[in-house]
Amino acid sequence: MRRQPFSRLLLALGLLLATSPAFAAIVAKPVEWKVGKDRFSGYVVYDNASTDKRPGLVMVPNWMGVTKDSIERAKAVAGDDYVVLVADVYGKGKRPKNAKQAGAFAGGLRGDDRSVLRARMDGAVAALKAQATKSPLDAERIGALGFCFGGSAVLELAREGSELAGVVSLHGGIAPGAKSTTAAEVKTPVLVLNGAADKAVSDADILAFENEMDAAGADWQFVDFAGAVHCFAEPSAGNDPSTNCAYDERAAKRAYRMLADFFEERFDTND
């Protein structure tokens, strides 16, 4: 497949100009799935101008869940190289109305026991793979990425021992659940893109994460971006770093370049 020029990818991801002519063929189709008795609702996003099979990415948004903003970001990530599932982990119709409610929803999943979150992440991966007969998806090549809470969520796929092409956490929490065991062998490559000035991620968290990954023999990378705080890759966060949730254009450019390179290498999409 063609490698999407990085300048175009960055423009779309950074500014969310997904309605420009370059993305005219990209579609976002609602999709539902079940995990146990619970039903979930997200969107599958891809360029339908070609029927060429391509890798898939489960994309978990920040704690606000599936929103118009997250769908536009998925369109930019998908380009003509990927099929992207904007994953719902809260439940159908369970959409936070504000930050307080989002914190409650996310907090209920990322506590000491991550078993429910892990099951829902597994369900999202299965939901994406099920699109292989309905979209140009190569279900044998699957990865995941997430923002903020979503970054924490995708790390649980690696921790539980899933075998994916890779997972990328952008400014996500990295502390493990105290009651959720990390697999003896982490089989999925991990890339963590972190704001060095993010007050939500402590030095102790970083050291514990490094030790955890090393103990499991993981293929992992941890990248700090100087001066960046939480939410640094999300333009909708605004630009006031004193809130510890602010967009940082310089860090975002570098992070999106690393994200693109990470998946291109593992999926070999740079033909």
- List pLDDT tens digits, range 58-76: 999 999 999 999 999 999 9
What integer pLDDT is reported at residue 4 of this predicted model? 47
* Residue 26 lies inside a defined structural domain of this protein: yes
What residues of the chain score a pLDDT lower than 50?
1-8, 11, 14-23
Q: What is the pLDDT of residue 76?
A: 94
What is the pLDDT at residue 25? 85
pLDDT at position 248, please? 97
Range of the structural domain that residue 49 is part of: 6-267
CATH code of the domain containing 143: 3.40.50.1820
Residue 67 belongs to some domain of the structure: yes
List, for residues 216-227, the tens digit of each pLDDT value.
999 999 999 999
- Is residue 247 a part of any domain in this protein? yes
Whether 38 is covered by a domain: the verdict is: yes
Residue 221 lies in a domain: yes
Q: How far apart are CA 24 and CA 76, in angstroms?
A: 11
The count of structural domains within the chain is: 1
* CA–CA dist 10, 151 (Å, integer): 19
Question: Is the residue at 204 inside a domain?
Answer: yes
Tell me, yes or no, whether 1 lies in a domain: no
